[in-house]
Structure 1
Amino acid sequence: MMAAEGAADYMGRRGVLEMAPEPATAAMVQAVEHDETTVAVADVEWERFVLGFTARRPSPLLAEIPEVRAALREDAAEQDTGQGAARAALTGRLAAMTEHERLRTLVELVREEAAVVLRHDGTDRIQGARAFKELGLDSLTAVELRNRLQATTGLRLPAAVVFDHPTPTALATHLRGLLVSDDAQDGTGAVLDGLKALEESAAALAGGGDGTARIVERLEALVWKLRDNGAQAEPAPGDDADPAGATDDLASATAEDMFDLLDRELGNA
């Protein structure tokens, strides 16, 4: 089997090593002499083999092997070290981005790491919607990808994360959920990003005039639409319940007043 072209390299990367003829033959003779019908003769590098073999599910077959238990403990310990700095750096970058930019950044990160694991020169062959299995990832390379993503994101990820989220986009979406707070994912963050851009654009207008008046009209309409969507509930104690006064205030509001009002309405005050 190992004589086939590329077989030794393929198996060696997975922890199954080519055996020298003498001990291999001696082990087979011993198995025959002792009538051992369920014996396996192999030279296994357990530290490399077990992570890929158990990537999808635990293995009761291997659980009692001391080297296997040691390899799994070492893998768990490695996940707990060196995570803080990498995670802080990445979350800091993502915090300054819109939701679309965050997902795009993480998709590119997954594609780049997958390309390294699959030994591609670039990411052209790693499409975001294409399944990892179709791209050529197996249990071993899935663990390698998991390990690289742990190092770059600072997250603790299960060995089966690539199988649970089987495309680069699905995996990137999962990573975004782990890295970005709930507040930034519920849609409010994207709306506030848009309002910030609007505020910067409006601030660049010089002298007011008809342009500013049209902006104020649109903002007034938006505020009332937001209020209509949430105004069915009873006003909370202390709320201003004077609609006439509110109408007068809006009629005389400046652009700056409207931005302040929008911030309060969307909970950004």
Structure 2
Amino acid sequence: MAWGPWAGGGMAGVEGAEEHLLRRGLRALDPAPAVSAVGAGEESVVVADVDWERFAPAFTSARPSPLLADLPEAADAMGGGMSTEGPADKGQSFVDRLAGVSPVERSQAVLDLVRGHTAAVLGFREMKAVEPVRAFRDLGFDSLTAVELRNGLNAETGMRLPATLVFDYPTPQLLAEHVHDTLFGAADVEPEAAVLADLDRLAGAISGFSPENAARGLVEARLRSILAELGGAAEADAKSVVSQQLDAASDDEIFDFINQELGRS
């Protein structure tokens, strides 16, 4: 005989245990009705008060469960949770809010949406604690938080994301790109705008570094190298423009240029 969690004294001394299990879909059992529910003649009995809508999607988020496959309540919960249909009407408000904005702003808004819900699920006070390129598993996700993130994003966008979303798209950046492309189609962003968007994402990631992070020195060196390269390219472009102007100038224009830049001797 297998028992679910006992209410009251059954969890005495384990702080937060009842709340922890309730979030995962297991309600604490009142001893009297739980004992009375036991029938006779059964070879194996499980007595538990399960919230299938919460428990089943989380329990099966990483892999199918033959244990639950034959239970109608669990099958219904898993079937509703794993639907991959397109956006529902209630998601139009999110789509409408981004109507008319540039592709770069739209992509950033979707990334902020994913990071904001991720932070809320994990109990972070600020969105910047969620680095766009850091894996969900490294952020502390488990099957329950994956389902909570899925539910939050579905409610916000009207999508039907699966409970496996953090396994299918293992970073906030990849998940945001999937959400964006599903809602708006693949982004058609000019190269210059794409670079600026990447810089914004990089700035967001760097802002989450602690002062002791060993990667700070490597990032700084790389950024200085990029700036030097940009400066060299700009200087070369400026010299090229001056050279072209001098080649096309008349003698009088060249002497005027010398007088303006160097002054008369």
Shorter-chain TM-score tier: 0.5 to 0.7
Where does 1:31-42 land on structure 2 (aligned, <5 Å)?
34=41, 36=43, 38-42=44-48
Equivalent position amino acid for 2:22 in 1: G
Question: Which of 43, 51, 55 lines up with 1:45 in the alignment?
Answer: 51
- Corresponding position: 1:55 with 2:65: no
Deviation at 1:35, TM superposition (A): 6.8
The residue number in structure 1 matching 2:125 is 121
- Corresponding position: 1:5 with 2:9: no
Deviation at 1:13, TM superposition (A): 0.9
Deviation at 1:53, TM superposition (A): 1.4
Where does 1:50-199 land on structure 2 (aligned, <5 Å)?
50-75=56-81, 76=83, 81-86=88-93, 88-89=95-96, 91-92=98-99, 95-98=101-104, 101-182=105-186, 184-185=187-188, 189-191=189-191
Whole-angstrom CA distance in 2 between matches of 1:41 and 1:145: 29
Whole-angstrom CA distance in 1 between matches of 2:178 and 2:32: 50
Q: Which runs of 5+ in 2 are unaligned?
A: 6-10, 195-240, 245-265
Q: CA, structure 1 residues 63+35, in 2 after alignment: closer, same or farther (shift >3 Å)?
A: closer
Once the two structures are aligned, what percentage of the paired residues are identical?
42
Instruction: Give the SS at the match of 2:47.
Output: coil
Whole-angstrom CA distance in 1 between matches of 2:169 and 2:88: 24
Question: Which of 27, 32, 40 lines up with 1:22 in the alignment?
Answer: 32
Deviation at 1:81, TM superposition (A): 4.0
Matched pairs, number: 188
Please list every run of at least 4 consecutive aligned residues from structure 1 whose deviation after the TM superposition is greater than 6 angstroms: 77-80
Deviation at 1:27, TM superposition (A): 5.3
The alignment's TM-score, normalised by the length of structure 2, stands at: 0.58
Equivalent position amino acid for 1:97 in 2: P
Instruction: Give the SS at the match of 1:58.
Output: coil
Instruction: Give the SS at the match of 2:103.
Output: coil
Q: CA, structure 1 residues 176+79, in 2 after alignment: closer, same or farther (shift >3 Å)?
A: closer
Whole-angstrom CA distance in 2 between matches of 1:56 and 1:153: 23
Deviation at 1:23, TM superposition (A): 3.4
Task: Give the superposed CA RMSD.
Answer: 3.4
Instruction: Give the SS at the match of 2:113.
Output: helix
Whole-angstrom CA distance in 1 between matches of 2:55 and 2:169: 22
Is contact 1:91-1:179 (8 Å) kept? no
Equivalent position amino acid for 1:61 in 2: L
Deviation at 1:146, TM superposition (A): 1.0
Is contact 2:24-2:144 (8 Å) kept? yes
Whole-angstrom CA distance in 1 between matches of 2:190 and 2:84: 37
Equivalent position amino acid for 1:107 in 2: L
Deviation at 1:87, TM superposition (A): 5.1
Whole-angstrom CA distance in 2 between matches of 1:191 and 1:166: 25
The alignment's TM-score, normalised by the length of structure 1, stands at: 0.58
Is contact 1:24-1:41 (8 Å) kept? yes
Instruction: Give the SS at the match of 1:5.
Output: coil
Q: CA, structure 1 residues 78+147, in 2 after alignment: closer, same or farther (shift >3 Å)?
A: farther
Equivalent position amino acid for 2:118 in 1: A
Whole-angstrom CA distance in 2 between matches of 1:56 and 1:130: 19
Q: Which runs of 5+ in 1 are unaligned?
A: 195-213, 218-269
Deviation at 1:9, TM superposition (A): 0.2
